[in-house]
Homo-oligomer: A and B are copies of this chain.
Amino acid sequence: MVKIDLNCDLGESFGRYTLGLDAQVLPYVTSANIACGFHAGDPTVMAATVALAEQNNVALGAHPGLPDLVGFGRRKMQITLAQAQADVQYQVGALAAFSQTGRLHHVKPHGALYNMAAADYELARGICLGIKAVDPTLILVGLANSQLIKAAQDVDLPYAQEIFADRNYLADGSLVPRTQANAMVTDEATAVQRTVAMIQTQSVTAIDGQKVALAPDTVCVHGDGAKAVAFVQKIHAALLAAGIEVTAL
């Protein structure tokens, strides 16, 4: 039976600031990527989010980001490999401390760190080494076909290839940048249908019409609004209807 994981970024509140409908989206996903205090999240939020994720029996993952709270980790920064590795180790360890088992299941870099590493092999390697130093059984979640996946393979770290339900692709397998008009798949029905097709056909059609081969392990979904949560429910239902098992990595 074909299997897929649904992963969602959670725990992005901070102090007085609340973000995301974590409790509403959790029943429909199988993996939680929890912010670790650099781009979002704080220790109290992390404690509560880990507890909530454990109650929902989803796989617990760290979602480390750049040290840029005001930019929500979305602004590229010229960090060194040593800094990337140390920042990731720090955040993974910090989150693991809130787990009942003291261990996590996966790590998915956030925002600009994810995007930079998808294209930069050395940075991707630094991140993978940071993860491996904490726990060599952790699964790296990275953009399908990207340098993150290549680096994980090279350093012998388990990995999962991620696809995006609502983003268009370029012919090289990278996402159309958000700065371009056609970055997003805006029609919900199209996005749902295409996601199922990406899993079934192991491929996606890029915006220039070329077919890109993919081996999707997990789909990125969002819980940052009522519309987003409704979309996750639709994806979840469509996957089940297509005979695809929705299960953690």
Contact = CB atoms under 8 A, between A and B. Distances in A.
Size bracket, chain A contacts = 35 or more
B75 A78 contact: yes
A38 to B, nearest CB: 9
A46 B78 contact: no
Contact of A97 (B44, B70, B96): B96
Interface in A77-105: 77-79, 82-83, 85-87, 89-98, 102
Contacts of A15: 69-72
Contacts of A102: 134-135
Interface in A42-93: 42-44, 46-47, 67-72, 75-79, 82-83, 85-87, 89-93
B86 A79 contact: no
B89 A98 contact: yes
Interface in A1-50: 12, 14-17, 19, 37, 40, 42-44, 46-47
B86 A93 contact: no
A230 interface: no
A131 to B, nearest CB: 10
Contacts of A94: 90-91, 93-94, 97
Nearest to A92: B97
Contact of A82 (B44, B68, B69): B44
Contacts of A77: 68, 71, 75-78
* CB-CB nearest 9 A-B residue pairs: A93-B97, A17-B17, A43-B86, A16-B72, A43-B90, A94-B94, A76-B78, A15-B70, A47-B86
